[in-house]
Amino acid sequence: MKEYAICIVGGGSRYTPDMLAMLCNQKERFPLRKIVLYDNENERQDVVGAYAEILFKEYYPELKELVYTTDPDTAFSDIDFALMQIRAGRLNMREQDEKIAIKHGCLGQETCGAGGFAYGMRSIPAVVEIIKQIREKSPECWILNYSNPAAIVAEATNRIYSDDKRIINICDMPIAIMDMYAAVLGKKRKDLEPKYFGLNHFGWFTNIYDRETGEDYLPRLKEILKTPVDVQTEPLFQEPSWKATFKFMSTMIQDYDEYLPNTYLQYYLYPRKMFEKQNSDYTRANEVMDGNEKETYERMETIIALGKIKGTEFAITEDVGCHAEYIVDLATALANNTKEVFLLMTENKGIIENLDRHMMVEVPCRVGSSGVEPLVVGTVPTFYKGLIEQQYAYEKLTVDAYLEGSKKKAMQALVLNRTVVNTDTAIALLEDLIKANKEYWRELK
Ligand SMILES: NC(=O)c1ccc[n+]([C@@H]2O[C@H](COP(=O)([O-])OP(=O)(O)OC[C@H]3O[C@@H](n4cnc5c(N)ncnc54)[C@H](O)[C@@H]3O)[C@@H](O)[C@H]2O)c1
Ligand SMILES: O=P(O)(O)OC[C@H]1O[C@H](O[C@H]2[C@H](O)[C@@H](O)[C@@H](O)O[C@@H]2CO)[C@H](O)[C@@H](O)[C@@H]1O
Ligand SMILES: [Mn+2]
């Protein structure tokens, strides 16, 4: 079996340790000769790198090469896959995004509304530059992007690298939701086959079929989920904000009982309610910095001090979470031509007949060694069409604003976002976001 070389871009991410564990677990199916970790911050990369040395010595002795570096030329030479998970501006800029939006009476959220807009304007140049550097060194490698806001990054990369069919944008939220469906049905996620349409963080499940019997569980799931369920599928979901998100799904299903919504629709369909729930002094960024990020780094530092993982409480298990699992499954499908179906972002091209052909939709796609083949959806009803078109216009205008350096388009994008709406708010918000993002955004005129 061919052995591959992969690079994790944003190697200092709090998601990297689980991804590395997943690569160890999957070595039979997806054998590797080289793993590269690349980050633009030395201090972070060195910690994850030192942790990876211990992990691979114990769990992946067959691996020929581990490289951890902040040099892009070293990182991107001779690789078959780049898994990208950068956070331009890190979590302290996420905190700014959230708090500036709240100050203006809007929802403060990482990927939705004004926060997602600000993050998008930082992510586009960073991701575009990294892709350019990767293509100089490894023109054929698969680039699998998780970096958020994925909808905006996908729109930008599709416009800027329109001929490059080896860039794939992916999100784990739909499968995290499917893990929850599987749990309440007493099944495994891989027993289920979804039909889904929409944009990233803005979509609906229309059917959940049993892969073996063909039964559609959607009616049963709607009944079950009208009552809030306590989701236990990921340790992270025990945090108060995730608990509240999954709990709120029941309200959405009671109000809209046609399809099953992505959790992120709560922000667009109930922006006032979501705004009222926020704590302007302590947002999700604070929760993550004080919680998951800190714990992840402390865990790696403890392991480095111990010098071992096996035989300790940190020994890796089969279950390393769906974020890592999904991206490694996707890489495996590309490498081994498995033709598995994934929910991915892809150019519409008629898959959803009554929507713009160039829209970056999130739909089921078959994946094999020749790439991504989206599966037909058909037409979508007026309510969903209206919502999607407005949200896509916001995403498109955000990318236009970046490409043209246009303040007018930036303002128009914000007005179109259902979490902002008012023109005076959009203008004031934009001024504050420009000031906060001086170091990251191109100049808007
Ligand atoms: N698509 C999805 O469903 C999904 C799911 C989870 C996380 N994410 C995304 O994954 C990313 C990582 O999240 P996190 O919470 O681990 O963030 P993090 O801040 O812990 O890690 C991101 C890493 O990227 C590095 N980085 C930033 N800019 C860089 C650049 N230009 N070049 C190289 N490295 C750079 C940072 O130094 C940091 O170590 C974010 O974009 C997040 O939104 C996406
Ligand atoms: O607030 P955060 O940073 O904890 O999460 C924001 C991300 O939420 C989704 O990803 C989930 C994922 O669905 C879940 O399975 C698990 O792996 O945790 C992730 C969050 O930490 C969402 O899809 C991402 O785009 C968000 O960045
Ligand atoms: Mn996502």
The protein residue with its alpha carbon nearest to ligand 1, atom 11, reads 85
Measured in degrees and rounded to the nearest 5, phi and psi for residue 423 equal -65, -45
Q: What pLDDT is recorded for position 320?
A: 87
Would the pLDDT of 100 be above 90?
yes
Q: How many residues does the chain have?
A: 445
Ligand 2 atom with minimal separation from the 150 CA: 25
What three-state secondary structure class fits 369?
Answer: coil
- Ligand 3 centre to CA of 1 (Å) is 32
The protein residue with its alpha carbon nearest to ligand 1, atom 20, reads 13
Q: Please give the share of the chain, as a percent, with pLDDT higher than 90.
A: 95
- For tokens 């350019």, the residue is 132
- Ligand 1 centre to CA of 90 (Å) is 7
Q: What pLDDT is recorded for position 206?
A: 98
Tell me the C-alpha distance between 411 and 268, whole Å. Answer: 18
Would the pLDDT of 105 be above 90?
yes
Tell me the C-alpha distance between 194 and 241, whole Å. Answer: 26
Higher pLDDT, 229 or 123: 123
Cβ(393)–Cβ(416) below 8 Å: yes
- Ligand 1 centre to CA of 45 (Å) is 12
For ligand 2, which residues put their CB under 6 angstroms from it?
A: 110-111, 148, 171-173, 176, 234, 236, 284, 288, 321-323
**Sheet of strand 192-199, all strands in order from the earlier edge strand to the far edge:** 192-199, 202-210, 260-261
The protein residue with its alpha carbon nearest to ligand 1, atom 2, reads 171
The protein residue with its alpha carbon nearest to ligand 2, atom 22, reads 173
Q: What pLDDT is recorded for position 334?
A: 98
Q: What pLDDT is recorded for position 133?
A: 98
| 287 CB near ligand 1 (under 6 Å) | no
Show which residues are catalytic. 172, 264
- Ligand 2 centre to CA of 86 (Å) is 14
Q: Please give the share of the chain, as a percent, with pLDDT higher than 70.
A: 100
Model confidence pLDDT, tens digit, residues 172-200: 999 999 999 999 999 999 999 999 999 99
Q: What pLDDT is recorded for position 374?
A: 98
Would the pLDDT of 349 be above 90?
yes
Would the pLDDT of 314 be above 90?
yes
What three-state secondary structure class fits 374?
Answer: strand
What average pLDDT score do residues 286-293 get?
96
- For tokens 């690079």, the residue is 7
Would the pLDDT of 235 be above 90?
no
Nearest to 98 by CA among 283, 262, 291: 283
Model confidence pLDDT, tens digit, residues 18-75: 999 999 999 999 999 999 999 999 999 999 999 999 999 999 999 999 999 999 999 9
The protein residue with its alpha carbon nearest to ligand 1, atom 41, reads 147
Q: What pLDDT is recorded for position 319?
A: 85
Cβ(7)–Cβ(38) below 8 Å: yes
Would the pLDDT of 411 be above 90?
yes
What average pLDDT score do residues 271-287 get?
96
Would the pLDDT of 230 be above 90?
no
**Sheet of strand 4-9, all strands in order from the earlier edge strand to the far edge:** 65-69, 32-38, 4-9, 81-84, 142-145, 167-170, 340-347, 360-368, 371-374
- Ligand 2 centre to CA of 220 (Å) is 26
- Asked which of 194-203, 236-245, 428-437 is least confident by mean pLDDT, the reply is 236-245
Instruction: Tell me the average pLDDT of the chain.
Output: 97
Cβ(21)–Cβ(320) below 8 Å: yes
What average pLDDT score do residues 250-271 get?
98
Q: What pLDDT is recorded for position 232?
A: 85
pTM, two decimals, is: 0.97
- For tokens 């806001």, the residue is 149
Which one of 19, 85, 129, 437 would you pick to mutate in the ligand 1 pocket, going by the greatest count of ligand atoms within 8 A of its CB? 85
| 146 CB near ligand 1 (under 6 Å) | yes
DSSP β-ladder status, 81-84 and 167-170:
unpaired
Tell me the C-alpha distance between 385 and 425, whole Å. Answer: 26
Which one of 87, 145, 263 would you pick to mutate in the ligand 1 pocket, going by the greatest count of ligand atoms within 8 A of its CB? 87
